[in-house]
Amino acid sequence: MPKQMSRHSTVLKSPRRQAGKPRPHSGEPTHGPLTAEELQLAVRNHSMPLEALRKDTTPPGLHYVLTHFDIPFIDTDHWHLQIGGAVQRSLELSFRALLRAPSITIPVTLECAGNGRSLLRPRPLSQPWVLEAVGTAVWTGVPLAYLLTQAGVEDDAVEVLFSGVDTGVQGGVRQQFARSLPIEEALRPDVVLAYRMNGAELPPQHGYPLRLVVPGWYGMASVKWLSSIKVLTRPYDGFQQAVAYRYQEDADDAGTPVTWMKVRSLMVPPGVPDFFSRSRILPPGPVLLTGRAWSGQGAVQRVDVGIDGKWAPAHLEHPPAPFAWCAWSMPWVADPGEHEVSCRATDASGAVQPLEPVWNYQGMGNNVVQRIKVTVGQ
């Protein structure tokens, strides 16, 4: 757990950014209506329908997806992974060679760092997630550390850079999507170069043929459609590292990097929905409220369930892996009328979900508690 990512890290003071640098978003945060651009992103990328919280493992088409540029459709006959930079032996691996390397299989919960963004006021202009940009998959692939060790990391290495083949423009900057990890993170035994998701070939939108999976970190770290891995002796300062994915107070704040997932819980909405409002209708009587909770900053230690603002601890199950979500449940006897049900997780670092959104300039890491309106019939 990195020291700098305490639960109070969201809006840390930091040095001022120089004027004229690229901006992460295409306009200042707004109190205005949702724009056509945000709607286009919302219908294109998708979050996880909350009823999929019933499943330990999220089916691929229900797992959240965020694609910055276009989804590449890659032919593995013409694809190689390059491993180079500050290493003793550069490697170039075909897809077949990767399949022959030792592999691990690991369940991991991934969440978009921008989850909850649309609930912020003013609203940062980017992908307008509500609450459910999350999913848990079982990833199979080669431990990154195995290949880095094969290549032989030089002593002065500080970071490892991962580049995808996906290209486009963001914040006025033409770029190939690329992000780095500190060398000590890259050498963790559970960081994986994944070529299978839930036992099947990676779907195109999840990074076929090869993606990084960094358990515990927000999703942007798990670079998709990998083409090269480069060991660096200086920190990477590309767009997705130095401009995007930062906790900033305002446009001029250099901010702090977005890294580990904050603690969050979500509930399967009880009863049945109204199609348009998604408000819930259920009969009176006993109902078992269920959901999932996760954190990248420490094991989930408790989940409290709130019924009309009164909180009580739920039953919590052990997660299947350190960075996979854990199931929780809470019996409730629903009596007729209007209710608000909610859930709130606490992790081993002491972090607890806030009752109100915590604002920052890019709309990152908003782990506010979920609130569900429920109408219990007579």
Give the binding site for its own copies (CB under 8 A): 25-26, 32-34, 37, 39-47, 49, 51-52, 54-55, 59-63, 65, 67-71, 73, 118, 125-126, 128-130, 132-133, 167-171, 174, 200, 203-206, 269, 272-278, 281
Measured distance between the N- and C-terminal CA atoms of the chain, rounded to whole angstroms: 49
CB of 69 to its own copies, least distance (A): 5
Q: Which is nearer to its own copies, 15 or 33 (CB)?
A: 33
Q: Which residue has the tokens 């978009």?
A: 112
The residue among 290, 285, 247, 233 whose CA lies nearest residue 265 is: 290
CB of 314 to its own copies, least distance (A): 21
Count of alpha carbons within 13 angstroms of residue 39, beta-carbon side: 4
204-219 CB burial, b ≥16 within 10 A, e <16: ebbbbbbbbbbbbbbb
Q: Which is nearer to its own copies, 182 or 204 (CB)?
A: 204
Query: CA dihedral in degrees (143, 149, 151, 153; nearest 10)?
Result: 120
CB of 31 to its own copies, least distance (A): 11
Token pair in block for residue 286? 């006993």
Q: Which is nearer to its own copies, 51 or 156 (CB)?
A: 51
Q: What angle do CA 149, 151, 154 make, to 5 degrees?
A: 80
Q: Which is nearer to its own copies, 223 or 231 (CB)?
A: 223
CB of 309 to its own copies, least distance (A): 22
Q: Which residue has the tokens 């670092």?
A: 349
CB of 12 to its own copies, least distance (A): 26
CB of 62 to its own copies, least distance (A): 6
Quick count: other Cβ atoms within 10 Å of Cβ 97? 13
Q: Which is nearer to its own copies, 18 or 277 (CB)?
A: 277
Residues 6+ apart with CB under 8 A from 376: 282, 283, 284, 334, 335, 336, 337, 338, 339
Alpha-carbon distance of 18 to 252, in angstroms, equals 7
Q: Which is nearer to its own copies, 40 or 94 (CB)?
A: 40
CB of 15 to its own copies, least distance (A): 26
Q: Which is nearer to its own copies, 19 or 36 (CB)?
A: 36
